[in-house]
A = this chain, B = another copy of it.
């Protein structure tokens, strides 16, 4: 590839990217075909194809063979970590409430396992050598489409024999069960990491190319600062916006 043709594929990609940014092309619109780009820019099929491939890798465009390429639609779900501690209808667990807020329906598959846990989880739960964890694993879906992976780890000794070990939805919420078990959470630390998915995550979340994930790790502590829960959420990057509200302390007390 010559220097000028390398420049040209970037120019084509820049032009299409700008049209998406300024709304000339909107979600769901079909892109010009390779043949059309080839003619419009007086270039090779290969250069037109390379330009489109770059936009696919950036997550701006999707391929729907044999129909062509389209501007990707984004319908991010509002994901509110703070809603966990807000009042909610007792028949809905946290995730259902989030979904209900958005007017969409959620389905969940839950399985429960007894595991060692990764170093990340063991460290956050402060597990002793040989101590095991219980994990509730879910893939949460909206209208059949997987949105996020939600794995909740507990010390096995805290939850053994309780409802938390049942592979089914807990109607009154696991936070309520934790309260009853004497391991109620007083505060949480949220950590949010951003990275590309593993092949397993790509598969479970049915991610398109150019789609990173947010990893939201929640460590819950009881009133004595003892970690009682570690939740690892893997969120499809194109399907979520994570939202927090912050109140300025002075505003509450002085204004």
Contacts and interface: CB of A to CB of B under 8 A. Distances in A.
A255 interface: yes
A242 B191 contact: yes
A235 B194 contact: yes
A192 B192 contact: yes
Contact of A243 (B191, B243, B247): B191
Interface residues of A, number: 52
B187 A251 contact: yes
Interface stretch (A135-143, A161-169, A209-217): A209-217
Interface of A: 10, 14, 17, 21, 23, 57-59, 76, 81-82, 84-85, 118-119, 184-199, 210, 212-214, 223, 235, 237-238, 240-251, 255
14 contacts: A17-B198, A21-B118, A23-B119, A81-B246, A84-B246, A85-B250, A187-B246, A188-B246, A188-B248, A192-B192, A195-B212, A195-B238, A196-B210, A223-B255
